[in-house]
């Protein structure tokens, strides 16, 4: 387990950065493939890729910084050190929704169809980034006596639940499910909200194994954010799923 993939002299290529870059490349490709299936122009993903990626990364970083205020107030220069990790999926979701709303108005398309196209890669990107977390030796769980427990260099006291590997496995299963949901979409936004809702259920469950990170009673910070997304997903799916079909 080593956060550095390749090092030549002072130049180091880190696993985390490579996984983020790979998720971006695959995300653009998968969004382009999904676009015609949800009724948005096939060339749209390529046209907005750069701006959208910048918005997502900025939102992810700001979300992480906002969740660790004490550290970044004491070390403001660290805000820009994204090479050391520190991206929040919930920050990316919030920024992505704002961008989708703006894009929908500018292009005259449904913002929810755009998010459905993006859902085609969200679980895969999550799996890739979690591998970067694993190689960084971060986001592990409580000590365990199970045979697949992992001793992390940053927590050598005992084998720990490799929550990153658990999330990789569940994200890959969800990635396959999302492709089927895209083919059976009933209304705009369905695939996106089912995807982030399912990922929030997984995140909430896995964080039960992180008893050292409680911030609000029995809840870890990730669980608080996951509950917020899950409530939003449930409300959207219930409202759209029970709405009468439009005629004409």
Query: In tens digits, what is the pLDDT along the chain, a chain of 248 residues?
Result: 888 999 888 888 889 889 999 999 999 999 999 999 999 999 999 999 999 999 999 999 888 888 878 888 888 888 877 766 678 888 999 999 999 999 999 999 999 999 999 999 999 999 999 999 999 998 899 999 999 999 999 888 899 999 999 999 999 999 999 999 999 999 999 999 999 999 999 999 999 998 877 777 778 778 888 999 999 999 999 998 776 555 33
Number of domains in the chain: 1
189 neighbors 116 (Cβ within 8 angstroms): yes
Distance of alpha carbon 176 from alpha carbon 195, whole angstroms = 11
Enumerate helices (H) and strands (E) in the chain, giving the number of each. Answer: 9, 6
Q: Does residue 143 form part of some domain? A: yes
The number of beta carbons lying within 10 Å of the beta carbon of residue 83 is 13
CB neighbourhood size of 141 (10 A): 22
- Residue pair 123/175 in contact (Cβ under 8 Å)? The answer is yes
Can you give the pLDDT at residue 242? 73
Q: Does 248 map to a domain?
A: no
pLDDT the model gives residue 96? 95
Give dist(CA 225, CA 155) in Å, integer: 25
Tell whether the torsion through CA atoms of 195, 40, 100 and 25 is positive or negative. Answer: positive
| In contact, 149 and 165? CB cutoff 8 Å | no
Q: Which domain holds residue 41?
A: 4-242
Is residue 80 a part of any domain in this protein? Answer: yes
As a residue count, the chain comes to 248
Q: How far apart are CA 10 and CA 21, in angstroms?
A: 21
Task: Please give the model's pTM, rounded to 2 decimal places.
Answer: 0.88
**CA-based radius of gyration for the chain:** 19
């Amino acid at each position: 387990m080593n956060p550095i993939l390749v090092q030549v002299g002072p130049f180091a290529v880190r696993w985390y950065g490579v996984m983020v870059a790979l998720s971006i490349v695959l995300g653009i490709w998968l969004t382009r493939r999904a676009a015609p299936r949800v009724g948005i122009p096939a060339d749209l993903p390529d046209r907005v890729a750069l701006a959208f990626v910048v918005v997502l990364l900025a939102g992810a970083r700001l979300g992480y910084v906002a969740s660790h205020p004490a550290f970044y107030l004491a070390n403001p220069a660290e805000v820009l050190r994204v090479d050391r990790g520190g991206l929040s999926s919930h920050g990316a979701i919030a920024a992505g929704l704002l961008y989708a709303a703006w894009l929908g108005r500018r292009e005259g398309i449904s913002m929810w169809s755009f998010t459905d196209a993006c859902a085609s890669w969200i679980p895969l990107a999550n799996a890739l980034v979690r591998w970067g977390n694993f190689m960084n030796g971060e986001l592990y769980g409580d000590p365990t006596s199970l045979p697949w427990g992992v001793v992390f260099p940053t927590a050598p006291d005992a084998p720990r639940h490799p929550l990153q590997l658990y999330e990789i496995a569940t994200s890959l299963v969800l990635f396959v499910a999302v492709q089927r949901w895209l083919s059976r979409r009933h209304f705009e936004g369905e695939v996106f909200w089912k995807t982030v809702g399912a990922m929030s259920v997984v995140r909430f469950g896995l964080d039960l194994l992180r008893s050292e990170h409680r911030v609000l009673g029995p809840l870890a910070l990730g669980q608080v954010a996951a509950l917020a997304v899950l409530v939003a997903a449930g409300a959207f799916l219930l409202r759209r799923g029970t709405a009468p079909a439009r005629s004409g």
